[in-house]
Structure 1
Amino acid sequence: MDQSLLDTLRVVALPTKTNFRGINLREVALFKGEYGWAEFSPFLEYKDAECAPWLACAIEAATQPRPHLFRSNVKVNGTIPALNGAAEITKIVELFPGVSSFKIKVGENLELDLARIQQVRSLRPDSAIRVDVNGAWSVDEATSFLQSAGEIEYIEQPCATVEELRELKKRTDVKIVGDEILRKAVDPFALDLNGAVDILMLKVQPLGGIKRTHALINHHKLPVVVSSALESAIGIDYGLVLAGSIEKLEYGCGLATGFLLSQDVAHLPIKHGQMAISSPEPDFAGLEVSAERFEWWKNRIMRTAELL
């Protein structure tokens, strides 16, 4: 990794509006290259090897020209964390004006999951409902949920393995989306997703950047949705660039998760259910971490760079 990139390193801590999969403070490393600011933000518990594609993506974003874009505005969905209070859910729904679909986190308690879905439906009756399970269920549990949940646009990673997804697909007509199955694979090109997955969930950092993600799209030849990994506005904008560079994009993308942060380095608004690609300039005021945390991230980047 070029020293000139490290010389621009800034690290920020972004508080969330609500607990999101156990996260209340999102630490993010940013650095700048010839083509703008880039983000490196693997979650704190990730080992260096799992961080490698995230760093490859950040280096690509900083040092490579942007791809050809088929659109400059990207349709997005709302994202509802695993909340159970009606008032709190209402506040989150209101963060996403004009969106036509909501992705709802489920998988911990069936009764609470169904109540959460019903609450969103009551607030936005015309919006499609998607659910994200993060691989938590058995085939039987996923089947039981789908029999109780009403109309679902798609179910994201209901079970952990390809074999389980293939078995579930035999039991349901609901579209199945593969997320962790792809981005946590040792070799995502070696996966046989035939009869297991209908749609690919694409997150640009964990998949190693836009060029590699396009190679995966061309390899698997499935419809796609672009989503985020709870990134800052810098990472989100690069996800928007990925979405803009995909010729056929049938579904709204999960790129509005910045609205779950109470502070960010830039503001990317939703207008009429869409977000614009904008190459934002970050504002670091009041967000930078301690010297100790900065060194932790710098060392993490240097260790990870040795694996590329």
Structure 2
Amino acid sequence: MSGALRLHRLAVPAALADRGIDELGVWSVPLTVRFRRIEVREGMVLHGPAGWAEWSPFWDYDPVESASWLRAALEGATEELPDAVRDEVPVNVTVPVVPAAVAHELVAASGCRTAKVKVADPRSDLADDVARVEAVADALGPGGRVRVDANAAWDVETAVRAIGRLDRAAGGLEYVEQPCPGVDELARVRRRVEVPVAADESVRRAEDPVAVARAGAADLIVVKVQPLGGVRRALEVVEAAGLPAVVSSALDTSIGIGLATRLAGALPRLDHACGLGTVRLFRGDVAASSLLPTGGVLPVRRADVDPSAFTDEPDADLARRWLGRLEASCAALEGR
């Protein structure tokens, strides 16, 4: 997958070289559809003695939050990861905010038996969400699982109403992900609906990622390697929470997805399909061999950056912006 990818090699700053990083690249690639309110994904790739890793915090994240993502990249590039207990993991197909007919086509072509449907987006009202979920359920057919993700967009009353309608549209939802922003709100919703509640932002963006479990505010947690600071840290969070876990993507390239499969492969229990099929949302990929699901599963393996993907045409603005972020995040990491 080359597509519209831009990948540029950069000199390794001393702060990374001192940590064992010997290669550094910055990349940018358009998405196939607008997702998470963005149309272009950007980030960095780092190489060290353990292989390639990814650092790609979103642009609304400050240096302190981005430092957790950097910790994950440094772990992935320089440390051996926990052993896997499985060779492959099931994945869901992710359905962005698209018309119902497009959603049906995406799911039917995916080969996946589980679909995660984005809802509660400003570009979509509840009627649109219901139609999208109905189309997805139809494409999956009997035995398929539908989960929805509201990205913390609802208040409690809106969540309760919407979950009821979406549950009926799906013929029974597997779970609803982060219907409200706060832990207290999640707990109130969970007491009022029969659909299981999964916590995402209340785990990956929380100072205490286990607080949601202690509060009885979720039935399961969503864990992501970069936001939680690495594979080992994510495993610790799952163990401390004592809840079933869904391993999901932070909208990574195949480099990040490969590390996420290592997390999923190392979990003692894996009861739910992983949200790791998102490389299909990219118009290009930095990896030599993209990690794309086949028959609804992904192999548990790392990916390597394609050396031929590096271009000699510099993008000064892209490099400047990301080197500035890197410097600030390195400083925040040192301050912790």
Give the match for residue 3 of structure 2. Answer: none
Question: Does residue 282 of structure 1 match 2:305?
Answer: yes
The 5-angstrom pairing of residues 12-161 of structure 1 reads 12-84=27-99, 86=101, 88-97=102-111, 99-108=112-121, 109-126=125-142, 127-149=144-166, 150=168, 151-161=172-182
Question: Cα offset for 1:212?
Answer: 1.0
What secondary structure is seen at the aligned counterpart in 2 of 1:263? coil
Distance 1:148 1:166, change over 3 A: same
Three-state SS of the structure 1 residue aligned to 2:228 is coil
Q: TM-score, normalised by structure 1?
A: 0.94
Q: Is the 8 A contact 1:200 1:222 kept in 2?
A: yes
For the residues of structure 2 that align with 1:251 and 1:28, how far apart are their CA atoms? 28
Following TM superposition, where does structure 1 have runs of at least 4 consecutive aligned residues deviating by more than 3 angstroms?
A: 4-7, 189-194, 284-289
- Superposed counterparts of 1:212-227, under 5 Å: 212-227=233-248
Q: Secondary structure at the match of 1:188?
A: coil
Task: Name 1:3's counterpart in structure 2.
Answer: 17
Could you say which residue in structure 2 is the equivalent of 1:304?
A: 329
Q: How many residues align?
A: 306
Amino acid corresponding to residue 115 of structure 1 in structure 2: A
What amino acid is the match of 1:208? G
Give the stretch that moved more between structures: 23-32 or 284-293: 284-293
1:191 deviates by 4.7
Q: Using the TM superposition, give the Cα deviation of residue 190 of structure 1 relative to its aligned residue in structure 2, in angstroms.
A: 4.6
Q: Which amino acid aligns with 1:269?
A: L
Give the deviation of 1:272 after TM superposition.
2.3
**TM-aligned CA distance change 1:284 to 1:14, over 3 Å:** farther
State the alpha-carbon separation in 2 of the partners of residues 35 and 176 from structure 1. 36
If the length of structure 2 is used for normalisation, what is the TM-score? 0.86
SS state of the match for residue 104, structure 1? Answer: strand
Letter of the 2:24 counterpart? L
Once the two structures are superposed, residues 153-206 of structure 1 have per-residue CA deviations (whole angstroms, 9 ceiling, x without a partner) of: 100000111111111111112110000011111232455543210001001100
1:271 aligned residue:
294
Mean Cα displacement is larger for which, 187-196 or 214-223?
187-196
AA aligned opposite 1:283: D
Give the 3 Å change call, closer, same or farther, for CA 158–190 of structure 1 in structure 2. closer
Conserved? CA contact 2:177–2:198, under 8 Å:
yes
Alpha-carbon distance in structure 2 between the residues aligned to 1:94 and 1:31: 36
User: Counterpart of 1:100 in structure 2: which amino acid?
Assistant: R
**SS of the residue 2:110 aligns to:** coil
Find the counterpart in structure 2 of residue 168 from structure 1.
189
Query: What is the distance in 2 between the residues matched to 1:72 and 1:53?
Result: 27
Shift of 1:260: 1.1
- Structure 2 regions of 5+ residues with no counterpart? 1-14
Letter matched to residue 155 of structure 2:
S
| Sequence identity percentage | 36
Q: In 2, distance between residues paired with 1:190 and 1:89?
A: 35
Is the 1:13–1:287 Cα contact (8 Å) retained in structure 2? Answer: no
Shift, 1:238, TM fit: 0.4
Q: 1:178 to 1:252 in 2, by over 3 A?
A: same
RMSD (CA atoms):
1.8
Contact 1:131 1:155 in 2 (8 A): yes
User: Are the equivalent residues in 1 in contact too, given 2:86–2:266 (CA < 8 A)?
Assistant: yes
